[in-house]
Structure 1
Amino acid sequence: MKRKKLSAAIYASFAGISLSMAAVSDVYSQETVVPDAESDAVERIAVVGARGAPRSVTSSPVPVDVLTADDVSAVAFSDMNDVMKTLVPSYTLGRQPIADGAAFIRPASLRGLPTDKTLVLVNSKRRHRSALVEVGGSGTQGPDLAMIPTAAIGSVEVLRDGAAAQYGSDAIAGVINFQLKNNTEGGMFTAEWGQYYEGDGDGLTISGNKGFSLGEDGFVSISAEYSDNDATNRAVQYCTAAFCLDSSLPNYDADAAYNDYLTPEFLAAADEMANSTQGADVVQPWGAPNSEATRVFINAGYMFSDAVELYAFGNYSEKDADSTFYYRYPGNGTIEDIRLEDGSVWNPLSFFPGGFTPRFFGSITDYSMVGGVKGMIDAFGYDISGRYGYDEIDYTISNTINPSLGDASPTAFRPGLLSNEETHFQADFTYDFASYVFAFGLSYLDEGYDIEGGEESSFVAGNYSVADPWGFCNADGTSSAEGLNVIANGSSLDCANPDDPVYQIMGVGANGFPGYSPEFAGTYERDSYAAYIDLSGDITDDLFGQAALRYEDYSDFGSELVYKIAGFYQLNDEVGLRASYGTGFRAPTPGQQGTTNVSTRLPNGFPVATGLFPAGGEIAQALGASNLDPEKSSNITFGVTADYGALNITLDYYRIALEDRLYAISTLDVSADESAGDAYQNYLALVDAGVVGAESIGGVLYFQNAFDTVTEGVDLVANYLMESEYGSTTLTASVNYNKSEFDSDPSEYLNAEDMYDFENGTPETRGIFSIKHAYEAFQVLARLSYYGEYENVDAVTTLAQGNQIDWNNTDLQKFGSEWMFDLEGTYHISENLSLSAGVRNLFDNYPDKTNLADSCCGQIYRADSIVDWQGGYYYTKLVANF
């Protein structure tokens, strides 16, 4: 019976159903409840993070970790993504400093799958997605965890198992449920400041929470957080084979043509540009962006009786961040001579004497509202709710030009706005029979993705988007009447010279990030319905079983039926066995179907304008794309759990098979050169599809259901508590091994380099080991993070020459394992006031430097590495409770 109650409580925690209103009221105060050993209350509260509960629940048929508010607050980050990365080894996160919106909303991964395969809940209700669709890779569009302030969190529950049949189509890799604080009184205030060893990246976070009672039977808990983080820079001066600003660097060529530009005046202007626009000593920094954010959450509930509760919660968050793009140097196709209408020669160096680095800004607004009623009628439980969520990112780009406008170009633009909107109604019910719990529910979801066009100058094709815009030259290379006229006025025009600036074709749109034109703006909408049933209970005294069935119907992808079965067997008093099997179904989001992007990328190790176009649109289909289909999955997990007094251990194996996986194809080259083969054919396809400025696009890509994959791994979580006259010590170890491989031939969509990096480009092993010791007024926390080895291949040059990849020579780089050590000490000045000082990455460890050609432009470390490359960071924190 205890397993049935606990597993039902775990289900209720995620589904939002309270099995006992009395238990809910106990949780309001967040006090430790220590009833009898047979009490159901302690079992229910364990899954929502009561203090003293083991991290990993050992009586559940599926892996569930519970992180307490203390766990969350002990991590010196203001971004919830970084908090999760620090505490959950299978949750990984990269830093992408030059990646458009992904520099501000970072895509993450759970169990080797992107975040759009993980369902995120707040108070057991689905969290809306962000407006950003990742341009490459899996095209991730998931909730932005950075909008959730740590001050608002009472606990975090991580369900590490496929659960699409129970919770919805996103729950392929697992479910993360953020439980908000629900205190009726008291509160806390925190102020934290820190800085990297390098002397940059100053971070200030101020946060607080205050609880209020609503009469004797309700609460309102308000949490707010403000953070301000300065940019970091881990780069050397820009130096490539095409252009180098530092003669001391290896790529510098004393005989290169670019030396003609490297006058003292040019170098001084480049230095001034870097310092005035980004505060760096290099023209292209690599690091974390500047960011400033304000986040507010309100959580409220009122008990009308012992059986009826009204609840509501919501948030409003704002974030402003800015980052850089690639440096534009003279002769790179953007900074070129053109002939103006009067026949004179003009160059963008008139605006930017030292070249320019576009500065990209993102202003993110995120808000949500949830309300509902839940309660019990005898053994019948219900929870009826409505939810609205909205997220937008408004872009601005400065320190750049629309090259096609020539000398009439502005140097700052508003390219447009992306938004994601969701309205959701849900009804969940349970009935508690004598030996099992029956749950069922219905939901309706309406969602929309909107691309709002930018200002005209950000996308318009100006006069210089074509050769000889003023008609100075005839087809035979002689001067027209207009040409003769400007020559008579002193112009150096030479129509017979194919290199004369009159023939220069300039790129269209704000360089770095062209605005969304009316052709690419629009709204993509859909709705869906779902119904599920779930049955769980004790089959015998030692065997617990669970089965779930879910039906979903999408207006754009049709319907699907998925299921799951799970069980737990208590082998003896200490050891239990568990297993589950389930299927999943995930429909591509409206954003993934409709997003469009033209930005600077490195498909061949060299920055070029690269266009992402919707798979179902005319442009992508002219290039060979087909309409997107849903992804389907099957998930199997089995493990062993053990409780030996103060020692708690769980070990789980998982295998996730994903069919028709959504992924961006390898970038297709585009060239207006008739001798360029397939690249020229791609150019013609863009022209035929009506793409303005196709001459300035160097690559194209689109999303496809490109291949099948299998992801296998093992999670180990161990927790040990020691008590002595010298205080209490908690030891925690959590280790994840994860490996993803292709289960079909992806070569139709990916090149050899992308195929190799997909399977080998991230560490397969990650571990987090911590010790926390408390004695009288002192507390010490030590945390060790481990990243295993990984590899990356750069076969661009080899493939371009038609040769085989040399996996054991210069085409391949092997990155070694890395350890990073965190240390924090806390002194409790009084019962309500404490002061902490600590260091992240105490020994200032960095991953191996990259030496591959696909990392360029002053970059030292792989920008997309999940191994942090910012170095050591020290901080101090003051916490007041009242």
Structure 2
Amino acid sequence: MKLNKINAAIIAGLSGCAISMLSAPLALAQEATLEDDNLEKIAVVGARGAPRSVTSSPVPVDVLSADDLNAVAFSDMNDVLKTLVPSYSISRQPISDGGTFIRPAQLRGLPTDKTLVLVNSKRRHRASLVSIGGSGTQGPDLATIPTAAIGSVEVLRDGAAAQYGSDAIAGVINFQLKNNTEGGMFSAEWGQHFEGDGDQLTISGNKGFALGDDGFFSISAEYSDSEATFRGTQYCESWFCVNDQSAEYIAAAEAQGQTVHGSSQVQPWGQPNSSGTRIFFNTGYSINSEVELYGFGNYSESEGDGSFFYRYPGNGTIEDLRLEDGSIWNPIEFFPGGFTPRFFGEVTDYSLVGGLKGMTGAFSYDLSARYGYNEISYTLSNTINPSMGNMSPTSFKPGDLSNEETQFQADFAYDMAEYVLAFGLSYLDESYEISGGEEDSYFAGPYATSDPWGFCTDSYTPTEAGAAVIADGSTLDCGNYTTNDVDDDGFEDDGISGLDPVYRVVGVGSNGFPGYSPEFSGTYSRDSYAAYVDISGDISDKLFAQGALRYEDYSDFGSEVVYKIAAIYQFTEEFAVRSSYGTGFRAPTPGQQGTTNVSTRLPNGFPVATGLFPAGGPVAQALGAEELRPELSTNFTLGLTASLGDFTLTVDYYNILLEDRVNAVSTMDVSTDPSSGGAYDNYLNLSAAGVVGAESIGGVFFFQNAFDTVTEGVDVVGTYALQSDFGDTMFTASINYNTQEFDSDPSEYFNTEDQFDFENGLPEMRGVFSVKHSYEDWMVTTRLSYYGEYENANDSPLETIQTFGSEFLFDVEGAYQINDMYTVSVGVRNLFDSYPDPGTMGETCCGRIYRSDSVVDWQGGYYYAKFIANF
């Protein structure tokens, strides 16, 4: 027990807590405990002292076994957690720039940069992507973690910044790697959607090896390949309808789209193509009974593709241009049916952690070092740099993003019999780099300005050069200088007016995702120091308590002290009450401070080029932005636990106050029309700040400490194990109720529509109910996922609000164990082929049927077969 207590104390160390694994025999015993559904699950996060059960922990913790993970027909760890943890949500966004490849998620309604992710109780490095909307979240990419490598997952649903460091505001997710000394497993799974598309193949395996008598080496690998789906209709809107064009045009337009299961549409909506290979290893070796070496790491490569919005003639990109010889050229000559830019991303991720741990009497230590790197490299095809006109290439390398972290940690613990005192130090160096793209991807060609060849005078008459091209037969008409008319779609001139092409100004950079120019490339770095102390133990036979204090000092944000207290009181052997109170601190990441992007968004339900600029840079500063500040949080929980034989129940209320919350401001309109008021002022500010191509930008935004929020809710988790002559049955119910409200006036940064969507855009109620029944060699698992109602507004006057009804998604899987080694299973995800309500507002334009950011899956039913070999 003493060794257990010290080991667990170090495991719970902050921001990379000490011990990464228990000794092999003890860890294997715990793994067996976790995998047996009839035994109470044990967690090592959230409390000091010996590992505690989920009902005796002073804070709410979910423990998911390897069997739980394998019973979900997803290869992406994000989707696995979404299926099993009601308070964890993620959506599929096919047109979301880098979010197509690295998807941001939420825990308890807060973005993933408010959740700390650990592997073997060590901090996991962040992904290279900064989400360009919302909070600009930059968290670890859970998709790089294969299920085959995981022995268990612990989800701590409580603020724990004082225990585990910055980011642990909404909670902590700890992935415990397998540590087997022998044996292993192999699995192969294939599935397809009811629509006949989206084929998915996943092959994974794990093998354990003994290192002499006192060590282990466990290696896991996974390969997955998912094909695209299509859940939209042909692009047909009031401003342009493909179906109204000639047969020749339609054929040419569809040829530029993405073909999915025999269907070709100019605007594909659905799951993108993706594939990846992921490898994890975990190792440990006991030098003697008191000293152990350990290490683990990963390497993964993945790639995916997506599309941007369809570019139709006259949309501001496909426009007539007056070439140097006076002739007229249009991108239609490259793309006769318009074009849909295609976006490709390659993600590389690797990490290495090593350490030495040991104990001398009642004193234990853990010295560790960690390195993590994540990079995403972009490629665009099927597009142009409009400002280059007929000299533009049609594929581009817009640049790379990378995030790098190095951390050194020293953790110590002293066992004082009834109490455990833990303390430690940490140093973290992190950097975020934006690598510039190829010049053509950001180059401002001649057509980024009006009359680039000097054909017309300021008085709108031909110059000598203009007269020469007219003499050669050009249709040049300098007197036709109508500028920036507003057409019936409510937007600036899109080619309908009589403006002569000599005055036409078009966008700069690879259309869809302009490359990173030298002005917006570079490395953003910082370092930080931390020191913590923690004490926990049994104050009496019925009362367990813990307290933690942490000091952090950031080179770019100064220092902060946070704390936490938590306790559980066991009224009887069956019932207990628990509570916690703590403060948190999260410094904006270097990526959030430095990221920039120009992409197509829908601020008013219509696609326009929209620029995101760093809050501390000259562009955003010219528009009124302020330097980012740290976010501060206060977290309170109060819960009840019950353990009545084969029935367990936990009910936990939580309240999270988040001050100075970082979020993107509402998109600010930009216009070159002097009569457009503030929009014209924004254009002048952009131009004065040196933004190349400011004339082609229709909106701009940036991140700010925009407001305070209160996130409040209740988690209910119940399990019941039933044994009978007809087999064993496990019933599980998990319910999350969550609300989010402003605690300050957000109107300075948020328009009315964004305020409404922020508070109402997610279901308040989410539940997961499952039944697992086994009889002899057969097992059947059923799961019901429930999503409550939610609302979305389409305009700032809030005249159009859509209510999305509740949804039930039903999964079922049957498995047969052929012998001790082989198991086969077949299953269906979303058996009744349920979909969320179709969108009825402008935000679901452009061939889209369902809101692409819906947290309710909109791919429909999916069936699969799986083969597993354990050896």
TM-score after normalising by structure 1: 0.93
Q: 1:400 aligns with which of 383, 387, 408?
A: 383
Distance 1:827 1:464, change over 3 A: same
Residue aligning to 2:486: none
Structure 1 residues 529 and 44: CA distance shift in structure 2, 3 A: farther
Distance 1:276 1:732 in 2: 41
**Any idea what SS the aligned residue of 2:248 has?**
helix
Question: Counterpart in 2 of 1:482?
Answer: 465
Displacement after TM superposition at 1:26 (Å): 2.3
Out of 809, 828, 832, the residue aligned to residue 820 of structure 1 is: 809
Are the aligned partners of 1:266 and 1:353 in contact in 2 as well (CA < 8 Å)?
Answer: yes
Residue 32 of structure 2 aligns to a residue in which SS? coil
- The offset of 1:32, in angstroms, is 3.5
CA contact (8 A) 1:28 1:184 kept: no
| 1:266 aligned onto 2:249 | yes
Does structure 1 retain, via aligned residues, the 8 Å contact 2:331–2:390?
A: yes
Aligned counterparts of 1:290 and 1:736: Cα–Cα separation in 2: 32
1:853 and 2:836 equivalent? no
Contact map agreement 2:423 2:534 (CA 8 A) in 1: yes
- State the distance in 1 between where 2:619 and 2:305 align: 31
Closer/same/farther in 2, CA of residues 601 and 275 from structure 1, 3 Å limit: closer
Please say if 1:880 is aligned against 2:869.
yes
CA displacement, residues 563-584 of structure 1 (integer Å, 9 cap, x when unaligned): 0000010011100010000000
Q: Answer whether contact 2:312 2:318 (CA < 8 A) is retained.
A: yes
Contact 1:297 1:316 survives alignment (8 Å): yes
Q: Are residues 1:352 and 2:349 paired?
A: no
Q: CA contact under 8 A between 1:63 and 1:159: conserved in structure 2?
A: yes
- What SS does the aligned partner of 1:404 have? helix
Q: How does 1:775-814 map to 2 (within 5 A)?
A: 775-795=775-795, 799=796, 804-806=797-799, 811-814=800-803
Shift of 1:9: 3.3
Shift of 1:275: 4.5
Q: Give the superposition deviation at 1:541.
A: 1.1
Mapping of 1:424-435 within 5 angstroms? 424-435=407-418
Shift of 1:43: 9.4
Match of 1:623 in 2: 623
CA distance in 1, matches of 2:563, 2:375: 34
Work out whether residues 287 and 870 of structure 1, in 8 Å CA contact, stay in contact via their aligned partners in 2. yes
CA distance in 1, matches of 2:25, 2:688: 65
Distance change in 2, residues 1:825/1:10 (3 Å): farther
Instruction: Verify the 8 A CA contact 2:24 2:179 in the aligned structure 1.
Output: no
Is the Cα contact below 8 Å between 1:55 and 1:65 reproduced in 2?
no
State the distance in 2 between where 1:483 and 1:43 align: 84
Q: Which residue of 1 aligns with 2:696?
A: 696
Q: Equivalent residue for 1:377?
A: 360
Q: Any idea what SS the aligned residue of 2:303 has?
A: strand
| 2:494 match | none
Instruction: Specify whether residues 730 and 643 from structure 1 end up closer, same or farther in structure 2 by C-alpha distance, changes over 3 A only.
Output: same
Aligned to 2:591: 591
Matches within 5 A, 1:46-445: 47=44, 57-246=54-243, 262-275=245-258, 280-445=263-428
List per-residue Cα deviations over 1:63-114 (Å, max 9, x = no partner): 1111100001111100000000001000000111101000111110011110
Question: Secondary structure at the residue paired with 1:97?
Answer: coil
Q: Matches of 1:407 and 1:271 in 2, distance apart?
A: 22
Inter-CA distance 315–279: structure 2 relative to 1 (3 Å threshold):
farther
> 1:462, 1:101 → 2: CA distance?
26
Specify the SS of the correspondent of 1:591. Answer: helix
The 1:703–1:56 alpha-carbon spacing in structure 2 relative to 1, beyond 3 Å, is farther
Distance 2:556 2:21 in 1: 40
Aligned residue in 2 for 1:467: 450
Q: Distance in 2 between matches of 1:358 and 1:133?
A: 21
Kindly tell me: are residues 355 and 155 of structure 1, through their superposed partners in 2, closer, same or farther at Cα, counting changes over 3 Å? same
Measure, in 1, the Cα distance between the counterparts of 2:20 and 2:802.
Answer: 56
- Measure, in 1, the Cα distance between the counterparts of 2:413 and 2:822: 43
Q: CA deviation at 1:47?
A: 4.4
Deviation at 1:628, TM superposition (A): 0.5
Q: Which residue of 2 aligns with 1:252?
A: none
Runs of 4+ in structure 1 off by over 3 angstroms are 4-11, 13-24, 28-34, 42-49, 275-280
Q: Kindly provide the CA deviation profile for residues 576-629 of structure 1, in whole angstroms up to 9, marking residues without a partner as x.
A: 010000000000000000000011111111111100000000000000000000
Report the residue type matching 2:265 in the other structure.
V
Stretch of structure 1 that moved more, 828-837 or 263-272: 263-272
The corresponding residue for 1:250 is none
Question: Secondary structure at the residue paired with 1:838?
Answer: strand
Per the alignment, residue 494 of structure 1 pairs with 477
- Counterparts of 1:63 and 1:397 in 2: how far apart (Å)? 45
Identity %: 69
Q: 2 CA distance for matches of 1:21 and 1:419?
A: 29
In structure 2, distance between residues paired with 1:865 and 1:734:
21
Match in the other structure for 1:514: 514
**1:449 equivalent in alignment to 2:432:** yes
Q: 1:170 to 1:480 in 2, by over 3 A?
A: same
Deviation sequence 1:752-783 (CA, Å, 0-9, x none): 00000000000000000000001111100000
With over 3 angstroms needed to count, the CA separation of the structure-2 counterparts of 1:79 and 1:226, relative to structure 1, is same
Change (3 A) 1:139 1:48: closer
Tell me the amino acid that sits aligned with residue 812 of structure 1: I
Q: Which SS does the other structure have where 1:236 is aligned?
A: coil
Q: SS at the partner of 1:305?
A: coil
Change (3 A) 1:644 1:869: same
Q: Distance in 2 between matches of 1:477 and 1:615?
A: 40
Equivalent position SS for 2:740: strand
What's the offset of the Cα at 1:12?
A: 2.6
Partner of 1:12: 11
Contact 1:657 1:708 in 2 (8 A): yes
Task: Say if 1:461 and 1:692, in contact at 8 Å, map to a contact too.
Answer: yes
For structure 1, list consecutive stretches of 5 or more residues without a partner in the other structure: 35-41, 248-261
Secondary structure, counterpart of 2:520 in structure 1: coil
Do the aligned residues in 2 keep the contact of 1:27 with 1:45 (CA within 8 Å)? no
Is the Cα–Cα contact under 8 Å of residues 90 and 766 in structure 1 kept in the other structure? yes
| Equivalent position of 1:254 in the other structure | none
Contact 2:95 2:308 in 1 (8 A): yes
**One-letter amino acid matched to 2:207:** K
Distance in 2 (CA, whole Å) between partners of 1:844 and 1:875 is 14
CA contact (8 A) 2:93 2:852 kept: yes
Measure, in 2, the Cα distance between the counterparts of 1:133 and 1:104: 12
Secondary structure, in 3 states, of the residue corresponding to 1:129?
coil
Question: Does structure 2 retain, via aligned residues, the 8 Å contact 1:217–1:303?
Answer: yes
CA distance in 2: counterparts of 1:805 and 1:617, whole angstroms: 33
Distance 2:735 2:6 in 1: 24
1:255 counterpart residue number:
none
Q: Is 112-121 or 498-507 further displaced after alignment?
A: 498-507
- 8 Å Cα contact 2:17-2:164 kept in structure 1: no
Aligned to 2:559: 559
| Change in 2 beyond 3 A, CA 1:286/1:737 | same
Return the offset for 1:18: 7.7
1:47 and 1:57 in contact (8 A); partners too: no
For 1:656 and 1:387, the matched residues in 2 are separated by: 30
Residue 17 (structure 1) shift: 6.5
What SS does the corresponding residue of 1:519 show, helix, strand or coil? helix
Shift of 1:464: 0.8
Residue in 1 that maps onto 2:756: 756
Is contact 1:62-1:159 (8 Å) kept? yes
